[in-house]
């Protein structure tokens, strides 16, 4: 007999299968015949994937050079000594000479890396104004308080871009040269510096303020560059489509790293005769040494790396899959032994 809501009371749910929880349900009861194959299959799958990832990463080539400039560490030590305790550091250049005995297959990526540089520091990470970086004119004239003490210049002008992240912009530069035959001249290897930032950052998140009379410099008039910058933000690049707040180097740097040792993409080698990789021979990497790191015990590195379907050289992911897969297989064997130990002769489990 079905009772109406009025007869049962206004606060009582209706007598339906849904409200009275009488819908059909299925509750899985995992037996040993189901759980054990799941553990073994998951473990073998993780081990197989881990082996593929590990050996793919192991097969990638990577050249790394520390150009911090410690005593006796190469010709960059003179630049490091010249920059010690001087702000801004004087212009200095050094070089890294290396040879490739065989072809360095492409695509080749050029990274710079910093060690003991804590971009994950809380106060450093919030020292920026996203409204200003999105091109809002009001934020350009009135930077956020989070940017302090890099909010206004000594003359009282608003800093653009403001904050500690922008003020510490990495400004070393590199050029790669190839000696095609012994004793011959060096030929510059073209470096493609377009598309090194995240598409969403470069095309959506970072925008320049509206130009004034067609001039970006006039839009930034009345602002000051960060204290460590030798020139204003609208002169970061000669390319009008890659300057101001939408400069590739600035966008890459503003995406802060989660760890104190990190690398960031500087350029790709994918043009001309070097699109398929770097031929064997002698090479020289010219370095404009501008970014001091010895004052806080940091290190600077430059890295040439190839990539594969899984990305750059990183053995951690393969090792992680191998560890998880081995743990699953081990757990499966332990459960199998327990199942055999406590199974009755007729095949039923003991209570």
Residues forming a β-bridge with 281: 100
Beta bridge partners of 187: 178
Write the CB contacts of 49 (distance below 8 Å, at least 6 apart in sequence).
321, 325
Return the half-sphere exposure (C-beta side, CA atoms, 13 A cut-off) of residue 131: 12
2 in a domain, yes or no?
A: no
pLDDT at position 214 is: 87
The answer to whether residue 78 is domain-embedded is yes
Look up residue 229 and give its two tokens: 């910058």
**221-236 pLDDT, tens per residue?**
999 999 999 899 999 9
What per-residue confidence (pLDDT) applies to 232? 94
**What is the C-alpha to C-alpha distance for residues 236 and 166, in angstroms, rounded to an integer?**
12
Which residues on neighbouring strands pair with residue 65, listed in sequence order? 302
Q: By percentage, how much of the chain surpasses pLDDT 90?
A: 64
Task: Classify residue 160: in a domain, yes or no.
Answer: yes
Has residue 148 been placed in a domain?
yes
> Is 325 within the bounds of a domain?
yes
**Residue 13 forms part of a structural domain:** no
- Same domain (yes/no): 70, 195: yes
Residue 113: predicted pLDDT: 96
Residues 254 and 330 both lie in one domain: no
For residue 21, the model assigns a pLDDT of 83
Do 128 and 163 touch, CB atoms closer than 8 A?
Answer: yes
125 shares its domain with 223: yes
User: Does residue 161 have a cis bond before it (omega within 30 degrees)?
Assistant: yes
Q: Do 253 and 320 have their domain in common?
A: no
Question: Are 179 and 321 part of one and the same domain?
Answer: no
pLDDT at 37: 92
Question: Which of 136, 165, 162 lies closest to 148, judged by CA?
Answer: 162
Q: What is the mean pLDDT of residues 112-118?
A: 96
- Exposure class string for 52-82: b at 16+ Cβ within 10 A, else e: ebbebbeebbebebbbbbeeeebebbebbeb
Asked whether residue 289 falls in the same domain as residue 192, the answer is yes
Does residue 177 share a domain with residue 146?
Answer: yes
Record the tokens describing residue 53, joined without a space.
């990832």
37-60 mean pLDDT: 93
- Looking at the fold, whether 291 and 338 belong to one and the same domain comes out as no
Does the structure show a pLDDT above 60 at 216?
yes
Reference 175, options 155, 197, 191, 192; nearest CA is 191
| Strand, helix or coil for residue 277 | strand
Angle at which helices 315-341 and 32-58 cross, to 10°:
160
Residue 253 and residue 217 share a domain: yes
Sheet-wide strand order for 62-66: 62-66, 299-306, 108-115, 262-269
- Could you tell me if 195 and 291 lie in one domain? yes
Instruction: Verify that 95 and 181 share a domain, yes or no.
Output: yes
pLDDT band at 273 (very low <50, low <70, confident <90, very high): confident
- The reply to whether 108 falls in a domain is yes
The answer on 252 and 328 residing in a single domain is no
Mean per-residue pLDDT, 138-154: 93
Q: Does some domain include residue 14?
A: no
The mean pLDDT of 257-283, rounded to a whole number, is 92
Q: Which of 82-96, 127-141, 263-277 has the highest mean pLDDT?
A: 127-141
The per-residue pLDDT for 342 is: 80
Q: Determine the 3-state secondary structure of 158 from DSSP.
A: strand
How many structural domains does the chain have? 2
Q: What average pLDDT does the chain have?
A: 89
Q: Is residue 291 pLDDT above 80, yes or no?
A: yes
Q: How far apart are CA 174 and CA 188, in angstroms?
A: 11
Cα 67 to Cα 174: distance, rounded to the nearest angstrom: 12
Task: Count CB neighbours of 344 within 10 A.
Answer: 9
| Residues sharing a CB contact under 8 Å with residue 45, sequence separation 6 or more, in sequence order | 325
Reading the block at residue 68, the tokens are 């911090």
CA distance linking residue 14 with residue 344, whole number of Å = 49
28-32, 52-56, 228-232, 316-320: lowest mean pLDDT where?
28-32
- Quickly state the pLDDT bin for 34 (edges 50, 70, 90): confident
Work out the widest C-alpha separation in the chain, in whole angstroms: 103
Tell me the residue range of the domain where 330 lies.
312-342
Tell whether the torsion through CA atoms of 292, 164, 232 and 109 is positive or negative: positive
Band of residue 347 on the pLDDT scale cut at 50, 70, 90: low
């Amino acid at each position: 007999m079905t009772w109406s809501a009025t007869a049962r009371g206004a606060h009582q749910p209706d007598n339906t299968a849904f409200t009275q929880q009488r819908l059909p349900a299925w509750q899985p009861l995992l037996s040993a015949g189901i759980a054990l194959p799941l553990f073994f299959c998951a473990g073998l799958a993780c081990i197989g994937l881990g082996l593929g990832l590990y050996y793919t990463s192991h097969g990638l080539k990577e050249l790394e050079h520390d150009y911090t400039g410690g005593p006796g560490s190469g010709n960059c030590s003179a630049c490091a000594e010249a920059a010690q305790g001087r702000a801004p550091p004087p212009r200095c250049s050094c070089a890294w000479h290396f040879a490739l005995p065989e072809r360095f297959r492409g695509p080749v990526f050029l990274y710079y890396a910093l060690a003991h540089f804590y971009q994950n520091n809380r106060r450093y990470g919030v020292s920026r104004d996203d409204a200003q970086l999105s091109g809002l004119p009001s934020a350009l004239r009135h930077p956020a308080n989070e940017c302090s003490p890099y909010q206004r210049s000594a003359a009282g002008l608003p800093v653009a871009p403001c904050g500690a992240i922008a003020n510490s912009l990495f400004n070393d530069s590199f050029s790669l040269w190839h000696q095609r035959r012994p004793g011959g001249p060096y030929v510059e290897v073209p470096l493609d510096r377009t598309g090194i930032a995240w598409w969403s950052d470069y095309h959506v998140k970072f925008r320049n303020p509206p130009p004034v009379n067609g001039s970006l410099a006039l839009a930034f008039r009345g602002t000051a560059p960060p204290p460590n910058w030798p020139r204003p933000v609208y002169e970061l690049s000669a390319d009008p489509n890659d300057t101001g707040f939408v400069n590739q180097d600035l966008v890459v740097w503003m995406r802060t790293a989660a760890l104190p040792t990190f690398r960031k993409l500087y350029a790709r080698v994918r043009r001309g005769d070097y699109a398929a990789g770097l031929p064997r021979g002698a090479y020289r990497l010219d370095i404009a040494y501008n970014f001091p790191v010895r004052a806080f015990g940091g290190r600077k590195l430059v890295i040439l790396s190839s990539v594969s379907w899984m990305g750059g050289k990183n053995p951690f992911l393969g090792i992680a899959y191998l560890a998880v897969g081995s743990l699953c297989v081990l757990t499966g064997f332990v459960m199998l032994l327990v199942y055999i130990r406590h199974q009755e002769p007729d095949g039923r489990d003991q209570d």
